[in-house]
Amino acid sequence: MSLNKKDQCGTGNPIDDCWHCNPNWRNDPQILADCAIGFGHDALGGKGGRIYYVTDPSDNDPVNPAPGTLRYGVIQSEPLWILFSGNMVINLKYELLVSSFKTIDGRGPRVEITGKGCVILDSVSNVIIHNIHIHHCKPSGNAKIRTSPVQISERGQSDGDGISVYASSKIWIDHCSLSYCTDGLIDVTRGSTAVTISNSFFSHHEKVMLLGHSDDFTADSGMQVTVAFNHFGEDLVERMPRCRHGYFHVVNNDYTQWGMYAVGGSAAPIINSQGNRYIAPQNGNNKEVTKRMDTDESEWRRWNWRSEGDLMVNGAFFVPSGVELSPQFTEATSMAPFAANVIEQLTMNVGVTGLPSAFILL
């Protein structure tokens, strides 16, 4: 099948085809909520709630955000499907704390989030972030920030991640473009689970994606995260992802070289790599896809990591470990993989997509 990049329907990507091949998607943006895959497939976002339009890109007052701003929308207690009235760059003054049952949907216009703190999901559930360009995020200092219509919280220093997910569940991050942040592009930690990161484009960063807080934080042992249909692009160094404890399905992603390694971890995570394309860098010392941190080989040889149906290019190689048919891989399987030879088709529209027209104002 031959399609140009602007033809978004019928690509074979199950997420995109689910909503974009529906003739009513411009009239009903919430169709998207039925299209998630992987461990985060139950994320409702703001499905069933009213539409809220961001009309004001400013972020002048984190304690009393103005109606029409993104900050005002994400702290509301009711489910909301958040859309944007036009192209905008939202330069955050402090971290943006998103409450439960919210969808931040950037389809139509071009929406960028940058500045201090960036996007924080802390002890929430049912959040969808779709089609947002997040870049140049920096740490934010101590501040008072309104986290709901009736609550103001004292927040400490943030790391400068693009998206931070703490102690949260039923989270879906889809079709985002992330680059140039201070710490990680996406971190999922502190007992978070039921997360899918899909169709996103990562570039120009060192530590890309952390899944699991620390080796000592055993509450992450039940974490389940799907990383699917993403493109790990130019000028990335490591953590695509870096996993701790938990169960991780790395499936049908496209890796265009890496600086140190692609998939790594510590604290005995279960990593199920299926149907990916790994294109190794030219540097002959960094052809290995995998890396185990701070652990003797006698120990990590017992960890269950497998490569199944992956396409290795330019000398790339994956070092498996553990028991190939271990029942633990069942807990690290969230969807049926596609063959690696269709990766370019599946990922042809990753990242923020330029759609021909915005939604009908509802």
Domain at 14-346: CATH architecture: 3 Solenoid (2.160)
**Annotated catalytic, 239?**
yes
Q: Give the DSSP H/E element, type plus range, for residue 70.
A: helix 70-74
Catalytic residue among 71, 155, 190, 239: 239
Domain range list for the chain = 14-346
The pLDDT score that the predictor gives to residue 10 is 86
Number of C-alpha atoms within 13 angstroms, CB side, residue 292? 22
DSSP E strand boundaries for 199-329:
201-203, 205-207, 209-211, 224-228, 231-232, 236-238, 242-244, 247-251, 254-256, 263-266, 270-274, 277-279, 290-292, 305-308, 311-313
Three-class secondary structure of residue 57 per DSSP: coil
Residuewise pLDDT in 10s, the chain (362 residues): 233 444 468 889 999 999 999 999 889 999 999 999 999 999 999 999 999 999 999 999 999 999 999 999 999 999 999 999 999 999 999 999 999 999 999 999 999 999 999 999 999 999 999 999 999 999 998 899 999 999 999 998 888 999 999 999 999 999 999 999 999 999 999 999 999 999 999 999 999 999 999 999 999 999 999 999 999 999 999 999 999 999 999 999 999 999 999 999 999 999 999 999 999 999 989 999 999 998 999 999 999 999 999 999 999 999 999 998 999 999 999 999 999 999 999 999 999 987 655 555 45
Contact 361, 26 (CB under 8 A): no
Q: What CA–CA distance (Å, rounded) separates 171 from 129?
A: 8
pLDDT of 2 reads 34
Q: Name which of 245, 239, 240 is nearest 214 in CA terms.
A: 245
User: What gap in Å lies between CA 190 and CA 195, rounded to an integer?
Assistant: 13
Burial of 28 per CB tally in 10 Å (0-12, 13-18, 19+): middle
What pLDDT is attached to residue 358? 53
3-state helix, strand, coil in the chain (%, to 5): 10, 35, 50
Three-class secondary structure of residue 17 per DSSP: helix
Which amino acid, residue 278? Y
pLDDT at position 355 is 67
